[in-house]
Amino acid sequence: MPDWSYHPLKKLLLDKMRPKKSREFIHESMNTIASIPGGRGLVGFLGHMAPPQELHKEINHMKFPSPTGLSGHIDPNLSGMNAFQELGFGFIEIGPIVLNEPKEQTEPKRENNHILFANHQEKVPLKLAIKKLTNLHIQIPIFARIDTHVKRNEWDMIVDHLTPFVDAFIVTSEQIYLAKSERHLENSFYVSFHADEMNEKVRELEKFIEHTCFGGIVINAPRRTVDSYWHEAANANEYLAKTVKQVKNLNPELTVITSGGVETPNEACTLVHTGADLLILTEGYVKAGPGLPKRIHERLLFEEVRPIEKQKSHGSFLFGLAILIGGIIALYFALTSIILPYDEAFIGLTSADIIQINPLILSFMSHDRMALAGTMISGGILYIQLARHGIKYGMHWAKIAFHSAAIVGFLGILLFIGFGYFDWLHALFWLILLPIYFYSIKEGKTATYTPYSSHGKNDRAWQYGLYGQLMFITLGFLLVVGGIVISTIGVTNVFVSTDLSFLCMSPQMLDNISSNLIPVIAHDRAGFGSALVSVGLLVLMLSLWGFRQGERWVWNTLALGALPAFIAGIGTHFYIGYTTFTHLLPVYFLVIVYLLGLVFSYPFLKKK
């Protein structure tokens, strides 16, 4: 559930549902996807949310892939546990844990853009926690928060049963004294305070530090109470930062975790700069969306001063340039001779012979070849831009996008053989491309950098940018689907009904003219389809992984790169008179999606 799908869905559907129902719908959906074979790979493909190596840290013998964690308030039923570790979190909090399930659980509610949690909020029964943790393979640390009203005998039972499944506990200042060093792990208990009571608790810190099981403190964001509910205060981040700084000044070695007060990457950076070791996201995560951890990571990386070492990208650039030039040459032939001498030799008829039989046949072949040429030109532009602005600067995601699309394009040549016509000129073109491509692979081995971003606000430009990103992701996905459909048609039926209406001939009539005519047409269709799949993948991956504020080249690439394919795809139909509305309707729809994407994403991508 990336931000580009979460926010439109939240606005259209989730905000109209009960908070608990919408929460469970989101968590169970994500959990289901992450649990099926290949599901985690899909989540990674859609979001590229794995925390960068630079942010990994070790605290009290626990390894955290990221400093950001998720509050137990967000998932009290533990229904999304399997998915959260795929969304970039470095640890997960569960709880508050109680021994037995309460008779009544008060649900949260939504009011004035706030999530209101009940004072007697939803609890996690010990049995449910153990059941969930036993069945899941969680690879990140888990903190269990024990409910403040748990009795002494219940506390021992909860801690003893959860110790094999969790890495640390979050307890109250009174409960820490119940921990026994001979029974529990060292540094495994973290004392929880509210930010507005820290002044009173500072004196107790020295007592806690002396306790063998004490690992650090958790500072909860200040709250505002509304009847029997509460929400985070408006100045939560500022108050938390001030409190963290105060604590760190007293004891710089003390591990400090904050809970809440983060809705934007900038607010996370503020807490990290004042000394917070780990951050637990609460209400702000729901408002900002599941992409917040990734955005925090990119913002934290931006803070690190590290020179960008430019990589060699000559092979990748030449690969894109070769495809661009190949598309221009193909366009020239499609507008002039249409079929080449070796096509005529295979068919057994010259262009003049075909014109005498039915001039629409050549026009139809021209329309497929012009569409292929336009798609190749678009693909060449996208490859060149990924080489110049992505691979050149060592971006790992750009390398993956480049080579995934290129490999699919190479495999497309296998589609041509199905009908018995092997285009030797096409094969020669691929043979020329192969050494260039292998050179680009060798160059790209050093492209391992993780992208970073200075964007730290949930501003209007970012919100519009999400809709623009959604449009371009939709465009890329539909191009891939369209390419698969066209390729499938090319190797099976070859024609759709509107094609035959335009030609005024049936496949049998075409076969009677020459048994080799349909294989040549099928070869053009399959070639166009495979090229469209390759370009669709480029658009899809560029849109999924390249959207960051101020990445002007991404907007320019999408704006310029799509034009040749659209112009050729629509222009060729009007050029030959094949203007059936239902046949062109999918292309018209794609153009609308493309234009909406440009408009929505302009403020976000083009802003310096």
pLDDT at 182 over 60: no
Q: Which helix (H) or strand (E) covers residue 82, if one does?
A: helix 81-84
Provide the b/e sequence for 128-143 (b: ≥16 CB within 10 Å): bbeebbeebebebbbb
Lowest-pLDDT range of 116-125, 203-212, 216-225, 293-302:
203-212
Confidence band, pLDDT 50/70/90 cuts, at residue 316: very high
The predicted structure's pLDDT at residue 15? 79
pLDDT at 387 over 90: yes
DSSP-assigned beta bridge partners for residue 226: 229
Spatial separation of the C-alpha atoms in residues 292 and 229, rounded to whole Å:
25
* Type of residue found at 283: E
Spatial separation of the C-alpha atoms in residues 177 and 142, rounded to whole Å:
21
Contact 368, 522 (CB under 8 A): no
Spatial separation of the C-alpha atoms in residues 398 and 387, rounded to whole Å:
8
The predicted structure's pLDDT at residue 110? 83
Q: Who has greater pLDDT, 421 or 477? A: 477
Q: Which helix (H) or strand (E) covers residue 353, if one does?
A: helix 351-357
pLDDT at 418 over 80: no
Confidence band, pLDDT 50/70/90 cuts, at residue 552: very high
Would you kindly state where each structural domain of the chain is located, as residue ranges? 3-299, 314-444+457-606
Spatial separation of the C-alpha atoms in residues 140 and 143, rounded to whole Å:
10
Lowest-pLDDT range of 54-68, 417-431, 588-602:
417-431
Residue recorded with tokens 């928060």: 145
Contact 387, 310 (CB under 8 A): no
> In this structure, what DSSP letter does residue 395 have?
B
Length of the chain: 608
* Type of residue found at 586: P
Q: What percent of the chain has pLDDT over 70?
A: 97
Residues 252-282: tens digit of each pLDDT: 889 999 999 999 999 999 999 999 999 999 9
Parallel, antiparallel or unpaired: strands 68-70 and 229-232: unpaired
At 348, is the secondary structure helix, strand, or coil?
coil
Spatial separation of the C-alpha atoms in residues 594 and 210, rounded to whole Å:
62
Contact 594, 535 (CB under 8 A): no
* Type of residue found at 314: H
CATH tag, 3-299: 3.20.20.70
Instruction: Work out whether the CA dihedral 20, 21, 22, 27 comes out positive or negative.
Output: positive
Spatial separation of the C-alpha atoms in residues 557 and 450, rounded to whole Å:
20
CA triple 384-388-394, angle to 5 deg:
125
Instruction: Work out whether the CA dihedral 395, 399, 405, 409 comes out positive or negative.
Output: positive
Instruction: Work out whether the CA dihedral 89, 93, 94, 95 comes out positive or negative.
Output: negative
CB neighbour list of residue 91: distance below 8 Å, 6 or more residues apart: 62, 64, 66, 69, 140, 141, 142, 143, 167, 278
Tokens for 137?
């393979």
Spatial separation of the C-alpha atoms in residues 494 and 517, rounded to whole Å:
11
DSSP 323-344: HHHHHHHHHHHHHTTSS-HHHH
Residue recorded with tokens 């973290």: 190
The predicted structure's pLDDT at residue 306? 65
pLDDT at 607 over 80: no
pLDDT (mean) for 50-65 = 90
DSSP-assigned beta bridge partners for residue 578: none
* Type of residue found at 448: T
Among 465, 461, 314, 278, residue whose Cα is nearest residue 387: 314
Residues 227-243: tens digit of each pLDDT: 888 888 888 999 999 99
Contact 542, 557 (CB under 8 A): yes
Task: Please provide the average confidence, as pLDDT, over all residues in the chain.
Answer: 88
The predicted structure's pLDDT at residue 305? 62
Q: Who has greater pLDDT, 110 or 357? A: 357
Segment of 6-15, 118-127, 145-154, 315-324 carrying the highest mean pLDDT: 315-324
Among 416, 390, 381, 365, residue whose Cα is nearest residue 530: 416
At 605, is the secondary structure helix, strand, or coil?
helix
Among 376, 351, 363, residue whose Cα is nearest residue 499: 363
Spatial separation of the C-alpha atoms in residues 509 and 502, rounded to whole Å:
14
At 109, is the secondary structure helix, strand, or coil?
strand
**Full strand arrangement of the beta sheet holding 109-111:** 109-111, 114-118, 229-232, 223-226
The predicted structure's pLDDT at residue 167? 92
Return the axis-axis angle of helices 236-250 and 265-274, rounded to nearest 10°. 20
Give 3-state DSSP helix, strand, coil % of the chain, rounded to 5: 60, 10, 30
Spatial separation of the C-alpha atoms in residues 542 and 451, rounded to whole Å:
13
Confidence band, pLDDT 50/70/90 cuts, at residue 473: very high
CB atoms within 10 A of CB 470: 22
Lowest-pLDDT range of 76-90, 413-427, 483-497, 546-560:
413-427
The predicted structure's pLDDT at residue 594? 97
